[in-house]
Amino acid sequence: MAAKKTTSKKKHSAVPPQATAKPKAAEAVAATPAPAAVAVAKAPEAAKPATTAAATAVAEQPKPATTPVVAAAPAAVPVVDLSALVAALRGSDADAAREAAVELGRTKSAAAVDALAAALANADGYFHSVVRAAAAAALGEIGDARAVPALLAGVRDEMAEASAEAVRGLAAIGDAAAVPALVEVVENRHGFFLPVVRRAAVLALVKLGGPDAAAAVSAVAANTYEDNSVREAAGRNNG
């Protein structure tokens, strides 16, 4: 609690003090101000402008410049060795090759398209199906239109996993040139494609759009003899 401020008990008197008569000589002396006292009394007034000027000078002194805030440097982006990943893609360990394909897709580098397309094409029968599937998915992730021919060929891969990933890769790239091949997958006139591939093709056609794609999806949705998973995908996305 703050201490109370005390005030003096002395008050103004209601009765004026009695005047004391002074000799005239004393009155004359009292009426004449002492020169030294006047000079002393006026001295502080003469000093005031200097004090004011000093205070103004201090107030007008420039403030020190604020230290600029330097933004932190962005974190360095790690450099990916594509040649090492491509070499691993062709390695004898299928799991390591699959991981290499995944990493190549994550780089989103167009320089990886040729190696991934070769793995998907599997011209020499060397690549395992899990590697082919990963290569198809990586091509879709990179999104380079140069991969469309390899993905179209990959749709007819004998392994459903690789075939379905090729379909999804075509949908990711979004090239309308893939619509006729995907319609064939959905119609499946020769019974080659498994439901997982046909369902992926239905979803791809929905994404790509166009009259031919819409007609194929509508036909599947209306076919009561159709596989349930394929028809459900068409019905949910039809119209």
Q: Tokens for 40?
A: 């002393």
Per-domain residue ranges of the chain = 81-158, 175-239
Q: Are 231 and 220 in contact (CB under 8 A)?
A: yes
The pLDDT of residue 74:
60
The pLDDT of residue 93:
96
- Backbone dihedral region of 42: left (phi > 0), alpha (psi from -120 to 50 degrees) or beta? alpha
Q: pLDDT tens, 65-115?
A: 566 666 665 665 566 789 999 999 999 999 999 999 999 999 999 999 999
Q: Residue 19: phi, psi to the nearest 5?
A: -75, 140
The pLDDT of residue 130:
97
Q: pLDDT tens, 180-210?
A: 999 999 999 999 999 999 999 999 999 999 9
Q: pLDDT tens, 8-19?
A: 444 444 444 444
Q: What is the amino acid identity at position 235?
A: G
Q: DSSP letter string over 18-37? A: PP----HHHHHHHHS--HHH
Q: DSSP letter string over 137-190? A: HHHHHHT-GGGHHHHHHHTT-SSHHHHHHHHHHHHHHT-GGGHHHHHHHHH-TT
Burial of 195 (0-12, 13-18, 19+ CB in 10 A): middle
- Tokens 């007034």 identify what position? 45
**What is the signed CA dihedral for 209, 210, 212, 217, rounded to 10 degrees?**
30
The pLDDT of residue 236:
87
Mean pLDDT of 32-49: 46
CATH architecture of 81-158: Alpha Horseshoe (1.25)
Residue scoring higher pLDDT (147 or 34): 147
